[in-house]
Structure 1
Amino acid sequence: MKKFGLLLFPLIAVGCNTTDSAKSEHVYPQKYVDLTAEDGQHLLEKYWILATRKDPALPPAAARESLAGCTGVTFLINSKGRADGYKITNSYPEGMFDRHVLAALARWRYKPAEGNPDKTPVLTSVSISFTPEKAGNANEAAQRCENLSNR
C-alpha cells in the first residue's frame, strides 16, 4: 500500500503542474481602452489607423474541400501598433481558418491617430470571412457567420 501511495503522489503533483500551465492566458496592460462592445467598434479610428493589412490565405484544406467560413478574434493593439494577445471569439468550421487569420493579424500594423498621441493600447475585434467559389457549405457558413462582418 505504501508503494502505491509513493507512486501516486508524483503523478498527482505532475498532473496539477501541467493543468496550471495549460491555463496560462495573455495578460493585457493595465491601461487600455476596451472597444469590443458593439457600439465601440466605430471608435477604433480615433485611436489607431490600420496602416498595413495582409489578408489571410485560404487554408489548403478549405480550398480542397471548397469550404466557406469565418473567424472572429478579439485582440489588443499595443502601444507599438501591433496585435498583442488574442482570443478566438467565433470560428466556423471550428479551427479551420484560425491559424491563417492569426498569422495575417500578426503582420497588421497600426499607426496612432492624431487623437492618440500617447499611443494608448485598445482592445478591439475583427472578423474575417472566407467564401471560395462554389463552396459546398456556403448557406450554412452564411448563417453561422452572419453576425460577423468582414473588415
Structure 2
Amino acid sequence: MLPLALFVVSCATTTKVEEPKINYLDISDKDQIKLIDEYWTVAKRIEPRYPISAAKKNVSGCVDLIVGIDQNGKAQGYKVRSSYPKGVFDKNAAATLVKWKWQATEKNKDNTPVLTSIRMDFSTSRNPSDPEYLQNCQNGKFGSIRF
C-alpha cells in the first residue's frame, strides 16, 4: 500500500501546468508612469493593512512596486523595486494589490496588459516629519498612493 501511495504522490507532484505567457507593455519606468492612465483605471482599490509592529513604533515608510496588470484587469505578479524601511511594509502592500481591480480605458480596447509602478506610502501622520522618511519616500520620483 505504501509503494502505491508514494507512486501516486510522485505522479501528482511531477505534473506541471503551463500558464499562458503574457506579453506586457512595460510602462514601469519613472518617465512613463503617467501612461497608465491611457490603459487602465483603478476600478476597485483596497487599502493595505498597516503592520501592527510599525504602528506601535510610529514607523512611516513606503513601497514602490512593479505590478503586472493582465488583460482581465487583475494584478498578476509584482516585484518590490524599493522600500523604506526595507521589508517593513512590503508584504502588506503586495497583499493589497492582489485585491485591486483595474478597468480598461476607452483607448485600451484590446485590454493590453501592462507593467506599471505603484508606490504606496504608509504613515501614522498626515504630515510626517521624519527626515529619513522624507528623504526616502517624498522624493517625487514615482506616483504615490497614500495610506
Using the size of structure 1 for normalisation, the TM-score is 0.75
Q: Is 1:150 equivalent to 2:144 in the alignment?
A: yes
Task: Please state how far the C-alpha of 1:137 moved relative to its aligned partner.
Answer: 7.7
Whichever of the two has the greater Rg, that structure is: 1
Task: Please state how far the C-alpha of 1:146 moved relative to its aligned partner.
Answer: 2.5
**Partner amino acid, structure 2, of 1:56:** P
- Deviations for 1:18-38, whole angstroms, at most 9, x for unmatched residues? xxxxxxxxx994522111122
Match of 1:31 in 2: 23
CA 1:109–1:134: 2 relative to 1, 3 Å: closer
RMSD: 2.3
CA 1:47–1:136: 2 relative to 1, 3 Å: closer
- Post-superposition, which runs of at least 4 consecutive aligned residues in structure 1 deviate over 6 A? 134-137
- Deviations for 1:113-145, whole angstroms, at most 9, x for unmatched residues? 111111110000010111113999822111111
CA 1:28–1:94: 2 relative to 1, 3 Å: farther
Match of 2:12 in 1: none
Identity %: 34
C-alpha separation between the residues in 2 aligned to 1:28 and 1:52? 25
SS of equivalent to 2:79: strand
Among 56, 63, 72, the alignment partner of 1:71 is 63
C-alpha separation between the residues in 2 aligned to 1:86 and 1:115? 25
C-alpha separation between the residues in 2 aligned to 1:69 and 1:117? 37
Match of 1:86 in 2: 78
Match of 1:40 in 2: 32
Q: 1:1-151 alignment to 2 at 5 Å?
A: 29-133=21-125, 138-147=130-139, 148-151=142-145
C-alpha separation between the residues in 2 aligned to 1:39 and 1:123? 13
CA 1:121–1:136: 2 relative to 1, 3 Å: closer
Higher helix share: 1
C-alpha separation between the residues in 1 aligned to 2:124 and 2:117? 23
Using the size of structure 2 for normalisation, the TM-score is 0.77
Segments of 5+ residues of structure 2 without an aligned counterpart are 1-18
